[in-house]
Amino acid sequence: MVDVDVVVVGAGFAGLYLLHRLRGAGFSAKVFETGDDVGGTWYWNRYPGARCDVESLDYSYTFDPAFDAEWEWSEKYAPQPEILRYLQHVADKLDLRRDIKFSTRVDSAVWDEASSRWRLRTGQGNEVSCGYYVMATGCLSMPKALDIDGVERFGGDVYFTSKWPHEGVDFTGKRVGVIGTGSSAIQSIPIIAEQAAALTVFQRTPNFSIPAYNGPVPAGKKAAIASRRAEYRADARLSPGGVPATISEVGAMQVSEAERIARYEAAWQKGGIIEFLGTFNDLIANAESNETLCEFVRSKIRAVVDDPATAEVLCPSSFPIGTKRLCVDTNYYQTYNRPHVRLVDLRKHPLATITETGVDVVGESFDFDAIVFATGFDAMTGAIVAVDITGRNGLTLKDKWSEGPKTYLGLTIAGFPNLFTITGPGSPSVLSNMVVSIEQHVNWIVGCLEDMRRDGLAVIEPTETAEAGWVQHVNDFGDITLFPRANSWYMGANVPGKPRVFLPYVGGVGTYRTICDEVVARDYLGFAVAGSSGTRVNDGVIRPVQADVGIMLELIAGLGLPALETMSVDDARAFSTSMATQRPPGPDVGEIVDGVLPGAAGDLDYRLYRPASAGPHPIVVYFHGGGWVLGSHDSDDPFCRDLCVRSDAMIISVNYRHAPEARFPAAPDDGFAAVQWIAANAASLGGVPGKLAVAGWSAGANVAAVVCQLARDAGGPTITGQLLVTPVTDSDLSRRSYVDNADGYILTAPLMRWFWDHYADPSDRADPKASPLRATSLADLPPALIVTCEFDPLRDEGAAYADALAAAGVQVRHLPCRGQIHTSLTAVDAILSGAAARAEMGEALRQFLGASVPV
């Protein structure tokens, strides 16, 4: 039996680099590879036209500058034979082959608890024992099983793009059928068409493709890399896609249509997947923006393809652009103008069977000399679960992943100690320049093994908590994008029976690298380790906040802003006003009117948001946030627009007096006066008399809650519901959420103390007009929706108010928002993960107001 420190499965980009690093770190290692040479993807995929679609200067190893210096790429996107030669060159130069066993497939792997080692078995009968076991088996290495009837009957030649004959194929004079129109088909069809006497392409779902403009390596880029190589490679490692690229800072709908088209045209002329999809910053998240790019590409297809009917069949319409792998082509669409090329739409004429002589679709039979299957891969998980892997307690990976893959960081799996996956599900992998992602994973794994050795440890495994947290984070990130809308291989949707789960991590290469490094810096957070020095569990979740909230927090942290509570009140107000200028404006409403109403001690400004639907409308009186010190109807403008659209109610946002100029109880007194005046003047404002609810955020929610108590005690006006978003309900600042979330989530415990100090004397703070939770009775208050956020100092007092209302017999619903912070739910169009909660708020207002639901 072979006995080594590490077994690596696969000898593509990943396996080769890993072997090199392991040797350098002093680990004994053995690589097993099914193919009879190195290369992986570039060994198997030899179909005509096969080439990379990330520029070769980027799609190559970066770990050793010598390879950059000595290897000359012949084209911007190198063809497969050249990439294979490159990998052979690397293997030769680093003398890797002596530790690779070719033509050997790993069939099974079992964790042996007694020895804390993996025992592997190959199809060729080899048995191997190793301390660590790494699957470098590739994301696109397991061809999808054919789900087409009758292939064995066909008397002509059958080819698969993913297992192309090494000697090549000459289609000259042949009638050829190609089944599939994914990336491999789009690359090969124009070349097959050049040779074949007749070519028929069978298409189920059309794909978007952009021109490659392939040619010589761009001299400017080469010179740039040569002159500032280290910075260029560092930029790539921290970029979203593993390639330095400028991603726009504006959304597609924020510019005029003319400018939008001009930008798309410029990007189209330039090429490059990552740059093209980065023309605007919201193309992968905003359906309306995305559709503008879809339509732009469709217009290009229609302009190129002569026959309008064929052009329409080639125009994708069933998924947002970018949510399936965007293809890069040379003359793909032009090929359909050739007289001997025909496109068959399988959605109209479903494929019936392969026959002895060709292909039958419903309504027509085709005869061929050769059929090419370009039917794709069982991506990301296929090659991993193809090996029978059994972890602790007899758990098989196939069973563990039966409802979709679960990993920690896409690198490790709970229940499978000392097993690593390179570019596994839950990592950026296929959404990136994969060489950069491979190098990052290899470096992380080798670093981990070195740390283990240094610390006398032999076993490492993620905890269930860490893994579940990561899976949640990956899903949360996917859910704020359009990716889940496509039936793509990213979603596992191309393989019958495969769970529909978004497989890669969409947070970007740079963000992901930072997270992996942070896991190490926090002493391998989320891992349990064991060895001669003992056993240690460092349980925890690396990114518990919602993905977009995390990005916002990082951006803000990066600005190094001073804490509000260290400023004068005037400076804090000026500062918070200036911060608000950067945010998205929120949706359009029917009409916005500014006005003045009588408060408790003088006039108050208000802003009225009228829905676009026909009035009269029910009314929501809204109170802004800002700790009774900051804010205005301007600060909460996007949120009020959003509430107006979602509830189809008129929102009247009232500017109550602020502390410290007007301390407690000025704010609730103004709030109550405003509600009284609005209720009395409902009809003249365009409202429905008697249909009035209150809403507020933070200190504004405190005002709203108090106003409900004042109205109850005063016998009116009637308030039919209260929406309290992350409310202040009590002056007790010692609750658990104040401790857990004291710092780091924008609203801090010190800032909240600063607000209270400006607002109310300590002796007043227990007054129910300041702390509505302390009211003698909470009975007979309007129905309530109370929204709290997990990472908010105010979380527990909001929850306490919900409990207390319920105990008093008030109809109340508590909506706790996982991963959100105090300021995130009101950040309309900026924090997309808050949209579901905002929808519930709108729905609650509709119910409070008995509003009819508009079409």
The residues binding ligand FAD (CB under 6 A) are 9-15, 32-35, 40-41, 43, 45, 50, 52-54, 59, 105-106, 136-141, 184, 383, 387, 422-423, 433-434, 438
Task: Write phi, then psi, for 454 (nearest 5 degrees).
Answer: -60, -40
Gap between the Cα atoms of 675 and 611, Å rounded: 20
Q: Tell me whether residue 87 or residue 474 sits nearer to ligand FAD (CB atom).
A: 87
Gap between the Cα atoms of 491 and 503, Å rounded: 6
Give min distance, CB of 311 to ligand FAD, in A.
26
Is the CA virtual torsion 680, 683, 686, 688 positive or negative?
Answer: positive
Q: Tell me whether residue 136 or residue 516 sits nearer to ligand FAD (CB atom).
A: 136
CB contact at 8 A, 828 and 584: yes
Pull the structure tokens for residue 616.
Answer: 């009269």
Q: Tell me whether residue 80 or residue 731 sits nearer to ligand FAD (CB atom).
A: 80
Give min distance, CB of 453 to ligand FAD, in A.
25
Gap between the Cα atoms of 291 and 287, Å rounded: 6
Q: Which residue has the tokens 């072997």?
A: 19
DSSP for 142-206, please give it: SBPPP--TTGGG--SEEEEGGG--TT----TT-EEEEE--SHHHHHHHHHHHHH-SEEEEEESS-
Q: Which residues pair with 132 in a beta bridge?
A: 6
Give min distance, CB of 8 to ligand FAD, in A.
9
DSSP 8-state class, residue 560: T
Q: Which of 733, 753, 823, 295 is nearest to 552 (CA)?
A: 823
Q: Tell me whether residue 43 or residue 697 sits nearer to ligand FAD (CB atom).
A: 43
Q: Which of 254, 806, 284 is nearest to 582 (CA)?
A: 254
Q: Which residues pair with 652 in a beta bridge?
A: 608, 621
Pull the structure tokens for residue 433.
Answer: 């320049």
Q: Tell me whether residue 52 or residue 452 sits nearer to ligand FAD (CB atom).
A: 52
Burial 159-190 (b: 16+ CB within 10 A, else e): bbbbebeeeebebeebbbbbbbbbbbbbbbbb
Alpha helices in 180-331 (DSSP H): 183-195, 219-227, 229-238, 257-270, 273-277, 287-304, 308-314
Give min distance, CB of 101 to ligand FAD, in A.
9
Give min distance, CB of 320 to ligand FAD, in A.
21
Pull the structure tokens for residue 674.
Answer: 């405003």
E strands, 519-671, where? 527-531, 534-538, 591-599, 602-610, 617-623, 650-654
Give min distance, CB of 583 to ligand FAD, in A.
35
Chain centroid, CA 792 distance in Å: 23
The count of other CB atoms within 10 Å of the CB of residue 617 is 25
Task: Write phi, then psi, for 795 (nearest 5 degrees).
Answer: -50, -50
Q: Tell me whether residue 144 or residue 657 sits nearer to ligand FAD (CB atom).
A: 144
Q: Tell me whether residue 42 or residue 639 sits nearer to ligand FAD (CB atom).
A: 42
Give min distance, CB of 140 to ligand FAD, in A.
4
Give min distance, CB of 318 to ligand FAD, in A.
23
Give the helix/strand (H/E) hosting 68: helix 65-70
- In the chain the first and final C-alpha atoms are separated, in Å, by 71
Q: Which of 330, 434, 375, 376 is nearest to 77 (CA)?
A: 330
Give min distance, CB of 384 to ligand FAD, in A.
8
Q: Tell me whether residue 432 or residue 546 sits nearer to ligand FAD (CB atom).
A: 432
Q: Tell me whether residue 442 or residue 685 sits nearer to ligand FAD (CB atom).
A: 442
Gap between the Cα atoms of 314 and 336, Å rounded: 10
Q: Tell me whether residue 286 or residue 390 sits nearer to ligand FAD (CB atom).
A: 390
Give min distance, CB of 18 to ligand FAD, in A.
9
Q: Which residues pair with 130 in a beta bridge?
A: 4, 118
Give min distance, CB of 518 to ligand FAD, in A.
24
Give min distance, CB of 496 to ligand FAD, in A.
21
Q: Tell me whether residue 410 or residue 696 sits nearer to ligand FAD (CB atom).
A: 410
Give min distance, CB of 97 to ligand FAD, in A.
14
Give min distance, CB of 22 to ligand FAD, in A.
15
Q: Which of 23, 10, 3, 34 is nearest to 95 (CA)?
A: 23
Gap between the Cα atoms of 644 and 610, Å rounded: 7
Q: Which of 328, 72, 90 is nearest to 216 (CA)?
A: 72
User: Which CA distances in Å does 461 have to 2, 527, 531, 650?
Assistant: 24, 6, 12, 55
Pull the structure tokens for residue 378.
Answer: 């069982």
Pull the structure tokens for residue 135.
Answer: 């699957």
Task: Write phi, then psi, for 651 (nearest 5 degrees).
Answer: -105, 125
Q: Tell me whether residue 136 or residue 314 sits nearer to ligand FAD (CB atom).
A: 136
Task: Write phi, then psi, for 138 (nearest 5 degrees).
Answer: 85, 150
Q: Tell me whether residue 56 or residue 481 sits nearer to ligand FAD (CB atom).
A: 56
Q: Tell me whether residue 11 or residue 705 sits nearer to ligand FAD (CB atom).
A: 11
Give min distance, CB of 397 to ligand FAD, in A.
13
Give min distance, CB of 246 to ligand FAD, in A.
19
Helix axes 13-24, 80-93, angle to 10 degrees: 10
Q: Tell me whether residue 7 or residue 666 sits nearer to ligand FAD (CB atom).
A: 7
Q: Tell me whether residue 17 or residue 154 sits nearer to ligand FAD (CB atom).
A: 17
Q: Tell me whether residue 188 or residue 826 sits nearer to ligand FAD (CB atom).
A: 188
Gap between the Cα atoms of 313 and 309, Å rounded: 6
Give min distance, CB of 247 to ligand FAD, in A.
18
